[in-house]
Chains A and B, each alone.
Chain A
Amino acid sequence: MLRFVARRLVGMMLVLFAVSVLVFLIFNVIPSSDPAQRLAGKNATPQLVESITEEWGFDEPLPSQYLTMMKKIFSGDLISYEGREDVDERIVEGIPATFSLCIGAAAIWMFFGILFGYLSAVRAGGWLDTSLTVLAVAGISMPVFWLAAIFLNYLTYQTGVFPSGGYVELTDNPLEWASHLILPWVTLAILYTGFYSRVLRSNMLDAMSEDYVRTARAKGLSERRVMSRHVLRNSLIPIVTLFGLDFGALLGGAILIEAIFSLNGVGQYGYEALQSLDLPPIMAITLFGAFFIVLFNALVDIAYAYLDPRIRLGTEAP
């Protein structure tokens, strides 16, 4: 186990390094305005721009510029070119909103994804399965921005059932926190619920024809127990993989949803930074997102060893 963790940690470092180099190179290749010019402001004199260039090291070779930026990210000194904000501070401020959105949405989609997938599989071919299939396909097909716009139009602007966006801290007012998040949660969860229920349904239908399911029936187990203990349990293993990847990716910022509902999370910050091609926050947010993707990949591997005893993490073989 220890060796596994060590190996994964080294792997995570390498991936994060590669991601940061790539993003850095991309932003130095695509045309954008001179960062010194932006830092100096609108009516800057050429002398000011020149001194900023020198002070920030924009005239140095790329590798040393890269090192300077990485140093700043990890020491918390990173300043954005646009508005000279403290990037790390902005990200930390955005975390509660982003995490509230992702964790809430994930709870909803896992619950309904598994419920609908299970019901669909158990009643495969029946009217319930057919209706759930139609719903799932609709959920997968509706673009998130469109669905969000529909919700906002009918449930906010026309009827005023829900607030029109923004984020309220959980610690300030739990009720307001929830009412501000319900629409983003549901919008985000609908897509994943549809997707997960379809995947679970097909996994379960495959599992139902397994020999061990026949054995379970031959033992005299009730149909419900056969379904839950043998069919569902084994079909959840691939769902865990999917969840790890999707959830990790979302924690790095649910850009569209955060921007539409102006949640002021990490994703929305990333969206703004992208619009102004502001390299420092883009670098920091990309690394932030990549970190969670890599982290959840490792967690999925650990969960796998628990869920499927045939997989033992390298050294622990009996």
Chain B
Amino acid sequence: MTAAGGEPLLSVSGLRVGFLTEDGLVQAVDGVSFELRPGEVLAIVGESGSGKSVTAQTTIGLTRSKNSRIEGSVRLAGEELIDAGEGQLGRVRGERIAMVFQDPMTSFNPVYRIGDQIVEAIRAHRDLSRAEGRRRAVELLDSVGIPDPERRVDGYPHEFSGGMRQRAMIAMALALEPEVLIADEPTTALDVTIQAQILRLLRDLNRERGLATILITHDLGVVAEMADRVLVMYAGKIVEQGTLDEIFYDPQHPYTWGLIGSLTRLDRPRPHRLPQIGGAPPSLLDLPQGCAFRPRCPHEFGRCAEAPELEARLPEGGEHRDRCWLTPEQKREKRQVEGRIGLEAPA
């Protein structure tokens, strides 16, 4: 995997997204910062409600509404998007940052042909005739491995299988050769065998075209397949970030241990019971004081009532950061559960 260095393509800093509800302000994203470099695959991992999708959608203004409160900065190659006008955002969406969504069943408009929806995306940005657009749509469908694209281009979404629909979704996202692809749980709604195909497609696109990709998922297996760097989110905050190897082989935050521990592995004896993280994510309306993971964490101690910053806590420093007060030695010891990394069941 080629983690190219250089200037960040997309840089998000201090992003806060809140939604006004009848019960109060829900702070879905609370101070998220990260950078995406050209050609890189950045995975954002977390449970439902951790703020990962909201973070991604906010980069292109999809969460804007009367009831949302957005602060911070999103820069695409230096251009600020957080307060960009609709026209400026419209030129970025699809053209420079494209998105693939979770459920290909509902993400296409059921009443229009797949080809027409791709052509619509192209013609929103390029002065192209319908016939040229259609030719381009056929090429795109072909490039993502849809068989018989000449015929399929005139098909309706309901005539495609889930996997084919997600391929068509990716084809549409690639239509304008964007600089950044955001894939929001692209494989969650698909069968396992199809998941692998879609992931391979995304990885090939990243390698062959150097397409910078943000991969949002709750599945660490998916992350292991293709990510260069990983952000682990919990309750609207990044709790740990690092390279793929750092996260998998030297995880610092107990929540990450729990995620890794709950992966089923075929090369190990089957555990008595599939491990899981006890409890449920906290309500964003009523977060615990200090570390948000505290109520579910078996290693909680006095200091956890004080909120830890996201910082490099290992002696060697570097880019591997986390939000946990335990010392690196304590972490190395406590994350060992039955000979592998995991989170103990809460007492």
Contact = CB atoms under 8 A, between A and B. Distances in A.
Contacts of A225: 124
A220 B124 contact: yes
Contacts of B159: 318
B120 to A, nearest CB: 7
A233 interface: yes
Interface in A185-239: 210-212, 214-223, 225, 229-230, 233-234
Interface stretch (A136-144, A164-172, A243-251, A305-313): A305-313
Given A212-B106, A220-B92, A309-B111, 11 more contacts: A214-B57, A214-B101, A217-B93, A218-B94, A218-B98, A219-B124, A220-B124, A220-B125, A221-B121, A234-B110, A308-B111
Q: Is the interface of A mostly helix, strand, loop or mixed?
A: helix
A234 B92 CA distance: 26
Contact of B62 (A210, A214, A318): A214
Contacts of B92: 220
Nearest to B63: A214
B90 A222 contact: yes
Contacts of A230: 109
Contacts of A234: 109-111
Nearest to A318: B159
Given A214-B62, A220-B91, A307 B106 contact: no
B106 A308 contact: no
Contact of A310 (B62, B95, B107, B110): B110
B90 A212 contact: no
Contact of B121 (A219, A307, A309, A318): A219
B156 interface: yes
A125 interface: yes
Given A210-B106, A309-B156, A220 B111 contact: no
A218 B108 contact: no
Looking at B90, B111, B124, the one whose CB has the most chain A CB atoms below 10 A away is B111
A132 to B, nearest CB: 18
Looking at A215, A222, A318, the one whose CB has the most chain B CB atoms below 10 A away is A215
A217 B62 contact: yes
B86 interface: yes
Interface size class of A (residues with CB under 8 A): 20 to 34
Given A212-B110, A215-B101, A218-B62, A309 B95 contact: no
A310 B125 contact: no
Contacts of B111: 233-234, 307-309
B342 to A, nearest CB: 35
A221 B120 contact: yes
Closest A-B pairs by Cβ, 7 of them: A220-B94, A220-B93, A211-B106, A219-B121, A212-B109, A219-B94, A218-B99
Contacts of A221: 90, 120-121, 124
Contacts of B109: 212, 215-216, 230, 234
A124 to B, nearest CB: 9
Nearest to A225: B124
B189 to A, nearest CB: 11
Contacts of B124: 219-222, 225
5 contacts: A215-B108, A216-B120, A217-B62, A234-B111, A310-B110
B265 interface: no
B158 interface: yes
B165 to A, nearest CB: 12
Interface in B67-121: 86, 90-95, 98-99, 101, 103, 106-111, 120-121
Contacts of A222: 86, 90, 124
B172 interface: yes
A216 B125 CA distance: 13
B60 interface: yes
B272 interface: no
Contacts of A211: 101, 103, 106-107
B91 A212 contact: no
A125 B66 contact: yes
B108 A309 contact: no
A128 to B, nearest CB: 14
Contacts of A214: 57, 62, 101, 107
A151 to B, nearest CB: 39
A218 B59 CA distance: 11
Contacts of B107: 211-212, 214-215
A183 B339 CA distance: 86
A215 B120 CA distance: 12
A184 B106 CA distance: 44
Nearest to A126: B66
A233 B109 CA distance: 10
B110 A219 contact: no
B108 A310 contact: no
Contacts of A217: 62, 93
Contacts of B60: 218
A259 B148 CA distance: 62
A234 B125 CA distance: 24
A234 to B, nearest CB: 6
Contacts of B103: 211
Nearest to A317: B159
A308 B66 contact: no
Nearest to B104: A211
Contacts of B95: 220
B32 to A, nearest CB: 20
